Amino acid sequence: MLPYLTAYYGNPHSRTHAYGWESEAAMEKARRQVADLIGADPREIIFTSGATESNNMALKGVARFYKSRKKHIITTQTEHKCVLDSCRFLETEGFRVTYLPVKKNGLIDLKELEAAFQPDTSLVSVMTVNNEIGVKQPIHDIGEICRARKVFFHTDAAQAVGKIPMDVNDMKIDLMSISSHKIYGPKGVGAIYVRRRPRVRLEPLQSGGGQERGLRSGTVPTPLVVGLGAACEVAQQEMEYDHKRISQLAERLVTKIMSEVPDVVMNGDREHRYPGCVNLSFAYVEGESLLMALKDVALSSGSACTSASLEPSYVLRAIGTDEDLAHSSIRFGIGRFTTEEEVDYTVQKCIQHVKRLREMSPLWEMVQDGIDLKSIKWTQH
């Protein structure tokens, strides 16, 4: 990235001089690197500011372009907030949105998806890997269902690209959102894959110079896309090793905590998941208190985008987690640079503080005395 912040500072869209040509060549190389990671044609990659913009482009772009014939969209209740908010915004424009529920394990019911289609459904949007509980949806099956009905399929793959194998053709994906910083690239850049055959048409979100094939006007930030491209290339080379190693670390974390601490619940399906995202609920412990106690460890109580909120996670509520358990949840992120020593340190501190906080809890004391809390009728004074 550094040379394109200093020496090669040309505008990649300026084709009348060498400075522009150098930047354009770097931009197109990055486009190929992104495309190679997901089995796409480089011409199908559009650079954006990140997955939030890509999700907005996919939902609003498809909905508005086909609005004269199609006014219905299908998504799920556990999507990222930017997808849900985009859908709610489209509802104010007269579109109808079906929000599919998920099962207790976080997966959608494919029969419910099939039943949700309407004659004017234009788009189905289901994320690949959930950003809070790590659950991996059956993307192959969803793609097949959508293709059979000639309905476009979009997936928010910000938490999946570069971490698990993704092939847009094999999975029948028509639009895919990609984030750079989820795979150790620079923040502030991402991409959207837009299928050329069969062609997907989008109404652009912003007007301007018509860059990125007229879909995303504005000068492409060469240093950032170079960083994204390099991150994609590294991810492709390291994916198999990373996944195996992260799986082992996640298993180590979960096994050690659950063997030492009773009443811990792992949220989401145990099998269909990306191992680097572990969400645990520690009954009879306030999640925020545990976070404060573990302030020297980078953890969160939900999505990093909404973790400042004291409301329980809408994802956990969608999978049927009761409010107390939802408030006691902690999300552990394990990545390429996480070490075994860091996992062991986190486990040790976690066990120590959970036990300490429970000793301060009157509810935990009642449970230890054999009292069934659900049988108690609580009253307010």
Catalytic residues: 305
Q: What are residue 309's phi and psi, to 5 degrees?
A: -80, 145
Specify whether the CB–CB gap between 324 and 374 falls below 8 A. no
> Given the structure tokens 């492709």, which residue do they identify?
236
Q: Tokens 């996992």, residue?
A: 343
Residues 303, 81: contact at Cβ < 8 Å? yes
Tokens of 275: 């191992």
For residues 192 and 155, what is the distance between their CA atoms, to the nearest angstrom? 10
φ and ψ of 74, to 5 deg: -120, 130
CA distance linking residue 69 with residue 76, whole number of Å: 23
Token pair of 238 as six digits: 């390291």
Among left, alpha and beta (phi > 0; psi -120 to 50; other), residue 50 is left
What three-state secondary structure class fits 156?
Answer: strand
Distance between CA 161 and CA 166 in Å, rounded? Answer: 6
Instruction: Quote the radius of gyration of the chain (alpha carbons, Å).
Output: 23
The helix (run of H) or strand (run of E) holding residue 48 is: strand 45-48
For residue 191, what is the DSSP state? E
Going from the C-alpha of 160 to that of each of 67, 100, 224, the distances in angstroms are 30, 21, 20
